[in-house]
């Protein structure tokens, strides 16, 4: 089979080398090979330009190099009959949980206060800190990654609640709120972690009204998708509430422009979309195993519900 690989990752050469090694016996091509796109059977991609997608008229499977699939669904030339397989990797979920915990502890233990005092060489007064069991963490989005993060935090004694747009298919070990009681979910949380996908329904979900319902001294973490947060509304709210803190790993425009106000705001922590980096070896192994199953059965199930957009 002819396999086409595309990604804008800075370590693209390592990815290609790993794919070619794993898919030994298959023809693995990139843009540099100037391939005949009509003869491509399978693609392994992230942020593929639409002008290339429209040439891929005979592909049978799209493997997404990430948990999210909005980078595919937004392409005008995407044939919605072609199944999409996304990365569901335990290494990715572990990284996401670790990142979330690091930002929670930074807030919970008042580490920024001490860090700022350190810069001034001040022996600052001792700040009161809450124990894990005294803090309610709301996980906004209970998909594959969100469920893992919620369970991880619950195991280390945080009071966890979750939000899911529709009623969960299986019983969770913590309370789950749905659309009709979103307000209660917001008001009960000391910390909200957004791990929502990018869809029309999630666009600007976290707006000024949402933020005003959060506890005055609280933390918002966004490690899902940048479209979920209304960035202008966040800046407005931070002008109103000086005791509100934010940790952002995803943004409407990436890389975040150098003149963006987020960079210099004292209540915002910025990380460059690194909360859950895609692990090369484990991800390619997952893709290869799905490929082998397809070769054997000639069938493959899409991981994406097109109506829900994720």
Q: What is the pLDDT along the chain (310 residues), one digit of tens a residue?
A: 999 999 999 999 999 999 999 999 999 999 999 999 999 999 999 999 999 999 999 999 999 999 999 999 999 999 999 999 999 999 999 999 999 999 999 999 999 999 999 999 999 888 899 999 999 999 999 999 999 999 999 999 999 999 998 888 889 999 999 999 999 999 999 999 999 999 999 999 999 999 999 999 999 999 999 999 999 999 999 999 999 999 999 999 999 999 999 999 999 999 999 999 999 999 999 999 999 999 999 999 999 999 999 9
Give the count of alpha carbons within 13 A of 301, CB side only.
2
Kindly list the domain boundaries of the chain, sorted by start residue.
2-89+279-297, 90-270
**pLDDT at residue 125 in the model:** 81
**pLDDT at residue 170 in the model:** 84
- What is the distance, to the nearest Å, from the Cα of residue 111 to the centroid of all Cα atoms in its chain? 25
What are the angstrom distances between the C-alpha of 276 and each of 53, 145, 171? 26, 10, 26
**pLDDT at residue 185 in the model:** 98
Q: Checking DSSP bridges between strand 159-163 and strand 268-270, what pairing results, if any?
A: unpaired
Give the count of alpha carbons within 13 A of 153, CB side only.
35
Token couple for 29:
């091509």
CATH number (3.40.1480.10, 1.10.3720.10, 3.40.50.720, 3.30.360.10) of 2-89+279-297 reads 3.40.50.720
Q: What is the pTM of this model?
A: 0.96
**pLDDT at residue 168 in the model:** 82
Rounded to an integer, what distance in angstroms lies between the CA atom of residue 152 and that of residue 147? Answer: 8
Domains 2-89+279-297 and 90-270 share a fold: yes
* 90-270: CATH topology: Rossmann fold (3.40.50)
């Amino acid at each position: 089979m002819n396999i086409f690989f595309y990604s804008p990752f800075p370590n693209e050469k390592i990815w290609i080398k790993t794919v070619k090694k794993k898919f030994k016996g298959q023809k693995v091509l990139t843009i540099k090979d100037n391939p005949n796109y009509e003869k491509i059977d399978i693609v392994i991609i992230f942020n593929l330009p639409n002008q290339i997608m429209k040439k891929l008229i005979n592909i049978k499977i799209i493997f997404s190099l990430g948990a999210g699939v909005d980078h595919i669904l937004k392409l005008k030339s995407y044939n919605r009959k072609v199944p999409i397989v996304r990365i569901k990797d335990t290494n990715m979920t572990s990284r996401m949980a670790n990142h979330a915990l690091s930002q929670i502890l930074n807030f919970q233990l008042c580490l920024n206060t001490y860090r700022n005092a350190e810069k001034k060489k001040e022996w600052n007064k001792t700040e009161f800190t809450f124990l894990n069991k005294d803090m309610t963490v709301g996980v906004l989005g209970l998909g594959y990654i969100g469920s893992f993060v919620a369970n991880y935090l619950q195991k280390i004694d945080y009071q966890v609640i979750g939000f899911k747009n529709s009623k969960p298919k299986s019983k969770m070990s913590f309370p789950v709120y749905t659309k009709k009681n979103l307000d209660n979910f917001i008001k009960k949380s000391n910390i909200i972690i957004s791990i929502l996908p990018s869809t029309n329904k999630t666009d600007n979900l976290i707006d000024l009204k949402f933020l005003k319902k959060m506890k005055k001294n609280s933390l918002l973490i966004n490690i899902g998708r940048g479209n979920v947060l209304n960035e202008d509304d966040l800046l407005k709210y931070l002008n109103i509430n000086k005791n509100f803190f934010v940790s952002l790993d995803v943004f409407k425009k990436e890389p975040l422009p150098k003149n963006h106000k987020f960079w210099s705001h004292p209540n915002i922590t910025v990380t460059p979309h690194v909360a859950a980096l895609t692990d090369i070896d484990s991800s390619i192994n997952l893709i290869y195993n799905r490929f082998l199953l397809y070769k054997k059965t000639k069938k493959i199930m899409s991981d994406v519900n097109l109506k829900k957009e994720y």
